[in-house]
Amino acid sequence: MYLYLVDQHLHPGKTATTLARIESRLIELGINGKMEKLSVLKSVKELVQDQVREGMKTVVAIGTDALLRQLIAVAAPLNLVVGFIPLGSPIHLAKVFGMPEAADACDVLSARIIKKVDMGKVNHHYFFSSLEIEHPAVRMTCDGKYQIHIRSDEPQISVCNFGNIFHGAFGREDLSNPCDGYLEVVIRRSRRRSFFNGDAAERDSVFPFKKLTIHAQRESVKLVADHEQVVSTPATVEVVPQKLKIIVGKSRWF
């Protein structure tokens, strides 16, 4: 049984024809199901939980990256299969998961290539892309074996599963391996001036781990999961292998 969630932010006048084509193609392929338009009165969590009780096993986001991000946070802990029909903007995740836009994505859903992807968990919150640490004044311990000390005054610190998909330009070369059973602490230092080369960027420092503890050196530090969920230190971060089951296309980036 399929559940299709339509992004509430899609403009009705601009997308009505496209949504009709999507629904028609789903019927032709035999993968149609219940289609729900989200609103302030219909949340992703409530709709998914209601349909799980009715036996729903696959839930598909029709809309933007933001909707897919919300859906993954709800569906992955429930062991549901997640799909994506990109429509609107931004839809950067369409390339990552190898999904064409609008009605063309229906054929990929029908092929049903399911990839099991790792997720991260910070305290009680799941994330699938990255966890951003807003201030360098932290002490990190990897797998209880070694500590990471920050020497630079202005580094960018991320805990990556896919990578920081939701921040700035993101290309295939920036992608972490989301299926290797590890997360990574990535420390990116600010660009520095070189007498010989002008502006030069130091290499990123990368530390793979399965379990990480983060403590603030002084005041509590904020951590932002998937560019949305805010958590504060102290925090425990761990990988949850193959937690997300998502339908992908052959042109996916991983």
Three-state SS annotation for 53-76: HCCCCEEEEEECHHHHHHHHHHHH
CA distance linking residue 109 with residue 125, whole number of Å: 28
Pairing of strands 183-188, 235-248: unpaired
CA distance linking residue 130 with residue 41, whole number of Å: 29
Cβ(105)–Cβ(26) under 8 Å? no
% of residues, the chain, pLDDT over 90? 76
CA distance linking residue 160 with residue 132, whole number of Å: 9
Dig out the tokens for 34 from the structure.
């219940």
What is the value of pTM for the model shown? 0.88
Better-scored residue on pLDDT, 135 or 192: 135
Q: Which helix (H) or strand (E) holds 84?
A: strand 81-86
CA distance linking residue 29 with residue 89, whole number of Å: 26
Burial of 4 (C-beta count, 10 Å sphere; 0-12/13-18/19+):
buried
**Over 50: is that where the pLDDT of 196 sits?**
no
pLDDT band at 29 (very low <50, low <70, confident <90, very high): very high
Residue 115's φ and ψ, nearest 5 degrees, are -110, 130
CA distance linking residue 86 with residue 168, whole number of Å: 19
The predicted model gives 136-158 an average pLDDT of 87
pLDDT at 168: 59
% of residues, the chain, pLDDT over 70? 92
**Over 80: is that where the pLDDT of 25 sits?**
yes
| Secondary structure letter of residue 86 according to DSSP | E
